[in-house]
């Protein structure tokens, strides 16, 4: 089997209970026969103090569960809508050709997979030390730590193929600087250190209630001619990195565009894996405002269909601006993919007028 066949994605949910009990319950359900490379816990603490306490509980319990083979791990402060605590799991079925290495950068675990197709890096949990610092300050610090890891493992910055960006109070402003724009400015400065001849990463930039700036990412360096990455455009949308200043906010008098592709495809032999960026009801560069959730949902799914072509989603994450929209969103999703693993979160989307954003992963075989 090749890389795209070996990587798996799943979602686990649990009912409300004491936080340590919920964590134990989720970890107990993990597959024993697969190597876990990424854990993403999604839940809602009451404040940043409790966020940090729960984050430490997660670190202690994952260390007890995995020992020295710690997967990349992050804790996203968003209210789950289809469970009290949600765990998204990226796992891998290795064979004799694979070498899996578990390492840490400070106290942040990450995973390397090496095989005939290339080297694959799974990293996450990069976060500001001081959550009360400005979003700009946190963003620059986090990108600095990411850069240190990439240099340590000899991955160029342009090897980042998928990035998840969680920004506390994403549409709010600090001293007249919109948080998302402050993050975009820092990302652009970091990305300017390299060339992006093969397109930017697929990415999501989404709001979190707490936790400051948090970044997870996958990176890949290919060594086989039959394994490569391709950026994917949507003919119905302007690429985000080509937006005009009319749809951008301002921070420190800068209006840097969001540097990501609508999707990124990994081809390995006859198989393809598609990272679907955070996708919303945008046509051209304009939001479809004032049309309601159902219309925005269908437009979002049309945009995703343009990106994945014949690929089939294996996991989706739905972000809803209003928690009362959950039942309607789940009903509509069921008409598209009735048995698909989906996590539903209440989160601020990067534009106030957008009610829904969807990201995910899809797989196909030619």
pLDDT in tens, 133-185: 899 999 999 999 999 999 999 999 999 999 999 999 999 998 888 999 999 99
Q: Which residues neighbour 13 within 8 Å (Cβ) at sequence distance 6 or greater?
A: 80, 82, 83, 84, 85, 86, 87, 343
pLDDT in tens, 253-307: 677 899 999 999 999 999 999 999 999 998 887 877 788 999 999 999 999 999 9
- Rounded to whole angstroms, the Cα distance separating 315 from 10 reads 7
Band (251; pLDDT cuts 50, 70, 90): low
* 292 Rama class: left (phi>0) / alpha (psi -120 to 50) / beta: left
Q: How distant is the alpha carbon of residue 211 from its chain centre?
A: 15
- Rounded to whole angstroms, the Cα distance separating 144 from 129 reads 12
Identify the residue with better confidence: 35 or 106.
35
Q: What is the CA radius of gyration of the chain?
A: 19
Q: pTM of the entire structure?
A: 0.95
């Amino acid at each position: 089997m090749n890389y795209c066949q070996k990587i798996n994605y799943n979602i686990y949910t649990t009912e409300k209970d004491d936080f340590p009990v919920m964590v134990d319950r989720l970890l107990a359900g993990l597959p024993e026969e697969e190597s876990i490379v990424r854990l993403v816990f999604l839940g809602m603490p009451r404040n940043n103090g409790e966020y940090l306490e729960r984050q430490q509980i997660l670190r202690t319990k994952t260390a007890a569960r995995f020992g020295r083979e710690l997967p990349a791990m992050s804790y996203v402060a968003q209210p789950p809508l289809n469970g009290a605590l949600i765990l998204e799991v990226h796992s891998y079925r290795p064979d004799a050709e694979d070498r899996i290495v578990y390492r840490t950068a400070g106290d942040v675990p990450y995973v390397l997979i090496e095989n005939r197709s290339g080297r694959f890096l799974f990293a996450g949990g990069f976060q500001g030390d001081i959550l009360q610092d400005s979003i700009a300050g946190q963003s620059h610090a986090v990108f600095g730590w990411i850069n240190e890891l990439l240099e340590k493992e000899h991955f160029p910055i342009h090897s980042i193929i998928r990035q998840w960006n969680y920004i506390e109070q994403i549409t709010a402003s600090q001293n007249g600087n919109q948080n998302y724009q402050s993050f975009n400015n820092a990302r652009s400065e970091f990305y300017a250190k390299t060339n992006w001849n093969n397109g930017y990463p697929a990415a999501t930039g989404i709001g979190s209630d707490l936790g400051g700036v948090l970044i997870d990412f996958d990176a890949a360096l290919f060594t086989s001619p039959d394994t490569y990455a391709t950026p994917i455009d949507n003919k119905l949308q302007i690429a985000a990195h080509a937006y005009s200043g009319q749809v951008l906010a301002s921070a420190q008098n800068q209006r840097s565009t969001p540097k990501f592709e609508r999707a990124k495809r990994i081809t390995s032999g006859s198989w393809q894996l598609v990272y679907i960026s955070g996708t919303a009801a945008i046509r051209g560069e304009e939001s479809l405002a004032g049309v309601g959730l159902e219309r925005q949902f269908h437009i979002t799914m049309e945009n995703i269909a343009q990106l994945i072509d014949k690929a089939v989603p294996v996991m989706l994450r739905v972000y809803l601006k209003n928690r009362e929209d959950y039942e309607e969103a789940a009903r509509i999703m069921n008409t598209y993919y009735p048995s698909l693993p989906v996590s539903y979160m209440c989160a601020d989307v990067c534009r106030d007028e957008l009610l829904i954003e969807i990201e995910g992963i899809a797989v196909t075989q030619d």
